Structure 1
Amino acid sequence: MSAVILLVTGIAWKNLNELTSNLTTQELGLADAGEKPADGAIDILLVGMDSRTDSKGNPLPQNILNELQAGGSDDGGFNTDTLILLHIPNDSGKAYAVSFPRDSYVKIAGGYGRHKINSAYGYAKGQEAEKLQGSGKSAPEIEMATRKAGAKNLIETIQNLTSVTIDHYAEVNLVGFYDITKAVGGIDVCLNAKVRDSFSGANFPAGPQTIEGKNALAFVRQRHGLPMGDLDRVVRQQVFMAGLAKKMLSAGVLTDSTKRSETIKAVSGALVLDDGWDITKFALQMKDLTGGNMTFQTIPTGNPDLQTPEDGSAVEVDEREVNKFIKNLGKDPAAASNTPDSKFDNASLTVDVRNASGIAGLAGTVLQSLVAKGFGEGQTGNAEAMAKSVVRYGKGGEDGANAVQKALGGMKTEEDVNVPAGRVRVFLGSDYSGPGAQGFTGSGVLALDGAHQQPADPAAPKPITADGVRCVN
């Protein structure tokens, strides 16, 4: 997905025609069909599609599905497993890539109710397919019409959630992602610990490594076996995109004519764009965007194990928090974090923090991050080791617990009769990576080269690093 944004910033202009000639486009009626978006900024929705078809809607052969470890042609469907909003301010000085966890529980446009955000495309696509049954249209015509309906409903869902007007749309599917990573010669990544997951096919040792093709897909698709599940997968995707961008802008890709040609072929055959997108003009706008001028972030989330009526476990999302987060992009994060929650008076609550992670000093730094956001300073201490973090509250203290877990990037809350009124107790498990700890799952910032842009917690463990590549779970 970062290919459409970053490849054109480095290749010779004579290659632009080759890049754009085979792109698939859809008429989506987006805002930037004319000269310039109304607010001066450009907002692009990047979508990674879990589909078993190519960009033209043709079913993938079974041998390709086998290589992708994607099951049969009837598996998967049209879930949008990667959703990223790329926000480019009007001065083009710094861009922000904001991830939406695929399991975010939100209101789906089109009257479908509340569901996981990755179903917005599929709901509308399926409904449109029912409408077109018996219409006399050919199968390819129906396929493209239903895809258009799905994309438009997904765009509307994101716009409703963020209050951002989407100017452009870019979509890539499994085989497109596979081809791009093969064409550039693999992406450098690093893991803190070895993983083996039968669901995604991820089977990697700890430490730095170069991955491509089916291994690259497994790396960005894994969520089972990760401490924070879908939220950790978002971090994987962000680190991978940073590595992909770095690789595409490297001399090895840009100066090697064979590799450059293969990359352009892969990108042009893999992407679906809105038809109002002038890639040449966009490339000129983006020419000054370098590695230091893009950061990756994730929308704020609440309970990562929210139980829903129809969709099972999902990630809790507060629309008002997302709106505030998006509006604060580019502003001083310290100033934004000190803004009191309009729904709860932080000063009315005292927070105790218990360290159950085994990381020396973590409770103190986390408590200070909460004090900086207006909460009352309680006590710190140690607790028996726990895998999952939790906020515990006494009778009637649910609002306060929710305010604290949101301030920490999201975790489970539970009632505990032993917690007195006016206090909550935070237990930091080994999964914790929010404010006060190195790493992030909410508002942390990652630079385009994969390195953190915020100061590391001196008490946190030092992760494996290799040639500037950030190591993740």
Structure 2
Amino acid sequence: MRTGRSAVVTGRTIVALASIAVIGLSGYAWGLVNQAQSHLTTDNVIVHHAPPAAEATVQHQDGQDMNFLLVGIDSRTDVHGNPLPPDVLASLHAGPDDGYLDTDTLIVVHVPGNGGKASAISIPRDSYVDIAGGYGKHKINSAYQIGMNNHGGSRTEGRRTLIQTVENFTGVSIDHYAEINLYGFDLISQALGGVPVCLNHAVDDSEYSGAVFPAGPQTLSGVQALQFVRQRHGLENGDIDRERRQQAFLASAVHQLLSVGTLTSPSKLNGIITAVQNSVVLDQDWDLLQFAQQVQGISGGDITFDTIPIVNITYWTPADGDAVEVDPSQVKEFVAAKFGDAVTPGTSATTSATTPQTGKQADTGTRKSPIVADTTGSTSEPSITAGGVTCVN
């Protein structure tokens, strides 16, 4: 697995989109939505293919449900293609730029059209999947780069390859796309005035992510916030534990974002707008005003965060080294149960977890029992919500 440049950006991605929603909730800020819409970078990336070939495909209810893909990318430029200043890269602990674009964060979010709870499901970046376009099996975070390389360096085609890969893997159609780079996390977390987090244990990962934090509640912003969501060394289950930490961070960030202090602060709202404009790429058909209206229920904590079922967190592959083994059928069933009205026949509705398997093993083609998405090693941990601060490892 790659380490130096693996800047995990789950928190900043959903916070950026929630930021857009929040600025549509106050009278003062409504005009800023139009400002954001007119100055955002967009791309024509949504191609409506036939529905994914899966028995667990989730259909839209009343034509109003929305599925969107949130992507965190470790680009060393802003959305306009301008290189980030060296001092900014150094402060982000981003590592050297080797010209490779990893999508280190992938979250599929389902917003029901009937006013029900939204659901966000994380896909670990090293999940070993079929890459759309006939490129074979690789880690899912390489889909963007593979599609781009095979289409003359086109980022549009890279994004389309990633979207179709996620659609095929999860069994749901993606309606909208949001991508955010490294710099956005720093800007947005500072604009919020920090994000409250809580650790069960003190951590010292100064050699890799730079994360050095005491146990207990604390508020993080800027570089410290990035270090918190980047850390995987020293965590019992590595990337899988990091997924749980990312979810807790972004849930707290959404809660913070929707607080009265944020909604009534012109300086915070303007800071969020600036951050979004410099770090976010959306699909060209996303209507932000409509989105703001649709997700207002998040303010009550009506969104849950889970991770797809995992079979093996140290699965050896011949070309890509260690990866995360997943069973596509189990993933589709899990997503259908979370996003749909009822559990798909033959699947369990539980969201508890077991301890991930370790050790390398060959792909025998047999169906294995999954590690279901709570990823804490506990059998009783609930899904994370945006209703407060969740303590994590």
TM value normalised by structure 1: 0.70
The aligned counterpart of 1:469 is 389
Cα deviations by residue, 1:162-213 (Å, 9 ceiling, x for unpaired): 1211100000010011111111111111111111222212111111111111
**Given the superposition, is the C-alpha separation of residues 391 and 118 from structure 1 closer, same or farther in structure 2, using an over 3 Å criterion?**
closer
CA distance in 1, matches of 2:365, 2:72: 36
Amino acid at match of 2:95: G
- Which residue of the other structure, out of 205, 212, 223, is the alignment partner of 2:221? 212
- Please show how residues 62-461 of structure 1 align to structure 2 within 5 Å: 62-72=86-96, 74-75=97-98, 77-128=100-151, 131=152, 146-197=154-205, 198-330=207-339, 339=346, 402-403=368-369, 406=370, 408-409=371-372, 433-434=377-378, 436-437=379-380, 439=381, 444-449=382-387
Report the secondary structure of 1:102's partner residue: coil
Amino acid at match of 2:143: A
Structure 1: gaps of 5 or more residues:
132-141, 342-365, 371-387, 411-430, 450-467
CA distance in 2, matches of 1:340, 1:104: 21
**Given the superposition, is the C-alpha separation of residues 254 and 273 from structure 1 closer, same or farther in structure 2, using an over 3 Å criterion?**
same
Amino acid at match of 2:392: V
Amino acid at match of 1:258: S
State whether structure 2 residue 8 is matched by structure 1 residue 45: no
TM value normalised by structure 2: 0.83
Is the 1:31–1:37 Cα contact (8 Å) retained in structure 2? Answer: no
The aligned counterpart of 1:16 is 33
**Given the superposition, is the C-alpha separation of residues 76 and 446 from structure 1 closer, same or farther in structure 2, using an over 3 Å criterion?**
farther
CA distance in 1, matches of 2:365, 2:89: 47
Q: Superposition RMSD on alpha carbons, in Å?
A: 2.9
- Which residue of the other structure, out of 54, 60, 64, is the alignment partner of 2:78? 54
- More relative contact order in 1 or in 2 (CA 8 Å, sep 6+)? 2
The aligned counterpart of 2:5 is none
CA distance in 2, matches of 1:282, 1:25: 16
Report the secondary structure of 1:218's partner residue: helix
Structure 2: gaps of 5 or more residues:
1-12, 50-59
Q: How many residues align?
A: 357
CA distance in 2, matches of 1:152, 1:38: 26
Runs of 4+ in 1 over 4 A off after TM superposition: 36-39, 330-333, 388-392, 397-400
Is the 1:190–1:472 Cα contact (8 Å) retained in structure 2? Answer: yes
Cα deviations by residue, 1:50-85 (Å, 9 ceiling, x for unpaired): 11111122222212111111123x247210111000
CA distance in 2, matches of 1:251, 1:340: 41
**Given the superposition, is the C-alpha separation of residues 111 and 331 from structure 1 closer, same or farther in structure 2, using an over 3 Å criterion?**
closer
CA distance in 2, matches of 1:186, 1:228: 27
Report the secondary structure of 1:21's partner residue: helix
**Given the superposition, is the C-alpha separation of residues 37 and 149 from structure 1 closer, same or farther in structure 2, using an over 3 Å criterion?**
farther
Is the 1:3–1:267 Cα contact (8 Å) retained in structure 2? Answer: no
